[in-house]
Amino acid sequence: MLGKFFQKPESEQSDRVPPGQYLAKGFPVLTYGDTPEIRTEDWEFKVWGLATPKTFSWSDIMAMPQSEFTADFHCVTRWSKLDVTWRGIKVTDFMKQVEVDPQAVHIMEHCYGGYTTNITKEDFLREENFFAHTLFDEPLSADHGGPLRLVVPHLYAWKSAKWINGLEFLDEEALGFWERNGYHKRGEPWAEERYSGLF
């Protein structure tokens, strides 16, 4: 596994690489299924469930405050990439335009292509979470989830939904695609929450 695609962390970086992870060379693409191609003119983002239903267009999103952010990225298949720089909209800024029922405790992230992943409201509403449209100063490519993806740096990257197009607010936990297929419901990399243990 080491060599061509992975390298051992340098000592000054090793405290930033969670247990069982290796540094990737480049930025691998990890997608289950086909890569959707969505033009921003056709793009829509919806919120529903225990929130007042609302549809956002691309221009609605671009009119929100724009921020830069740098974060480490950890895939459960054991590669990590440090210092990824993104530009986009903070989840907390986006959520100022969403009216959520206080009963909502959990969220299902929905995507073009049908991928889903679940997250608690607490893990979702963190200051370091972003909807990203720019990666290393380039428009986010379709492979990496463009035109818009979620980035949740403190959890394994399968929670960082590519081509995200909706949030469903729920009054209880529900499982997304990988979580139904054996991945951990939360996925915290420092605790190595990789698998649910149910399979």
The residues that touch ligand MTE, with contacts defined as CB under 6 A, are 27-32, 75, 111, 113, 115, 144-145, 157-158, 160-163
CB-nearer residue toward ligand MTE: 91 or 161: 161
Least Å from the CB of residue 182 to ligand MTE: 13
CB-nearer residue toward Mo ion: 30 or 62: 30
Among 29, 30, 62, 98, binds Mo ion (CB under 5 A): 30
The pair of structure tokens assigned to 193 is: 């929450």
Stretch binding Mo ion (CB under 5 A), from 18-26, 47-55, 69-77, 78-86: 69-77
Enumerate the H helices of the chain as residue ranges.
Answer: 11-14, 58-62, 91-94, 121-124, 177-180
Least Å from the CB of residue 18 to ligand MTE: 13
Size of the residue set binding Mo ion (CB under 5 A) = 4
Stretch binding Mo ion (CB under 5 A), from 27-35, 36-44, 99-107, 189-197: 27-35
Beta strands in the chain (DSSP E): 6-7, 22-24, 44-49, 54-57, 67-74, 79-90, 106-111, 116-120, 130-135, 138-139, 149-151, 164-170
CB-nearer residue toward ligand MTE: 31 or 40: 31
Collapsing DSSP states into helix, strand and coil, what is residue 15? coil
* DSSP label at residue 178: H
Contact 105, 120 (CB under 8 A): yes
Longest alpha-carbon distance in the chain: 50
Q: Is 158 in the site for Mo ion (CB under 5 A)?
A: yes
